[in-house]
Structure 1
Amino acid sequence: MDFFELNTNVFRMINDLGKQYDYLNPSAIFIAEYMVFLLALAVIVIWFTRNEQSRMMVVCGMITFVMAEMMGKMAGRLHSNNQPFAELDNVHKLIEKAVDNSFPSDHTILFFSFCVSFWLFKRGWWLLWIMLAFLVGISRIWVGVHFPADVLAGAILSTISGLAVYLVVPKISLIHKLLGGYERYEEMVLSPLTKSKEKKSKDL
């Protein structure tokens, strides 16, 4: 069995689950299409906890994503394939997607970039973050827009980038200085608002 055949067979195995268990399709569509908004919300909430380690974690996630996405674009020049629904017959396609190079999966790169970074900083939550990234990758196959190899490549690139960023970026003094400068600016902006609220509560 060659790689293409293996890739196709694994795709069929996962994608056909949507035909057998159609009651799970709405969940798969939500994870594949809209989980990105929940990730964005989580990043915003974590950022505004105003904790230095949490903010460093978010910064590392963003840098990891940029690095992994750049590596993904280079990988896409070395190998390309269209989405499964454009290359195979009888694909169970559940969402609309334009036909283009689907290698590697950008959604998987995005989620693994942040989830791997979060896992490295807060290992107590490792299962939650890894499960979330894994579910997003599987959902992209389930809905018919990515091959397993697209997802696997995205996960590998993001994991490699995440580890490299985690080992290097927190040690860069410039990053700490920039975060410190941002926090001073944030305090300068929020301090008058906080005092105004305190004054109003006292007046009441």
Structure 2
Amino acid sequence: MNYTLFQLINGVAGRFDGIDDIMEFCAQDLIWVMLALLALLWLTGKTANQKLVFFSCLSAAVSLLIAGLVISPEVGHARPFVDHAVHQLIPHAPDASFPSDHSTFAFSVAFVLLFARRKTGWLMLALAAVTGFARVYVGVHYPGDILGAMALSLVVSYGVWKTSGRLDALPNFFIRVYRKLTSRLSFLPHP
């Protein structure tokens, strides 16, 4: 089923240059848009927003560590282009594909935001879903790699969100450092 769904999505790749270009951007660069949105949220200078950005990044970091150090080496699932003839639109190393790092990052950020701010969270969740779909479309991941990233991200993000009140000293430290720096650098926004 995983390969059948992959074929259905990736089978469209290579037919329409404009769509391919959009999917290549989404597969590789949409996470930069998400990072820019996080940066804008941080730069509001509001403590609640800055804590939210911190916990989103913490969730992403923990999820990526678990994926990279535990799950991926244990599962060792080959990428689609290693085992099959695919329409591969972007270059990628033939390393393990489960779970998708891009999707793990994107969903981790999105879920923490969704728990705290519904509108922003839904926007980020949509960007994460598009990122995951595009990773399949361009031929570097199976749909199961994206679903695995989503599940891991949801569990870790929920855990980070539920313990965030007990971890407030961490974001408070970074917020204080940021405020000290911005008070000395007039070009950065500060409260």
TM-score, normalised via structure 2 length? 0.88
Question: Whole-Å Cα distance in 2 between the matches of residues 171 and 8 of structure 1?
Answer: 43
Structure 1: which 4+ aligned runs deviate by more than 6 Å?
none
Q: Distance in 2 between matches of 1:116 and 1:145?
A: 24
Whether 1:12 aligns to 2:10 is no
Partner of 1:140: 135
Corresponding residue of 1:79: 75
User: Aligned AA for 2:82?
Assistant: A
- Larger Rg: 1 or 2? 1
The correspondence for 1:43, drawn from 35, 38, 44, is 38
Change (3 A) 1:173 1:116: closer
> What is the rounded CA distance, in whole Å, between the counterparts of 1:177 and 1:29 in structure 2?
38
Change (3 A) 1:188 1:57: closer
Bigger mean CA offset, 53-62 vs 65-74: 65-74
Give 3-state SS (helix, strand or coil) of 1:24's partner.
helix
| Mapping for residues 136-175 of structure 1, pairs under 5 Å | 136-175=131-170
Distance 2:57 2:98 in 1: 21
Q: Per the alignment, do residues 173 and 142 of structure 1 end up closer, same or farther by CA in structure 2, a change over 3 Å counting?
A: closer
- Say whether 1:60 aligns with 2:52: no
Contact 2:50 2:171 survives alignment (8 Å): no
- Give the fraction of aligned pairs with identical amino acids, expressed as a percent: 24
TM-score by length of 1: 0.83
Unaligned residue ranges in structure 1 (runs of 5+): 1-5, 195-204
Identify the match of residue 96 of structure 1 among 91, 94, 109: 91
Compare the two structures and name the one with the higher helix fraction: 1
- Higher mean displacement: 168-177 or 50-59: 168-177
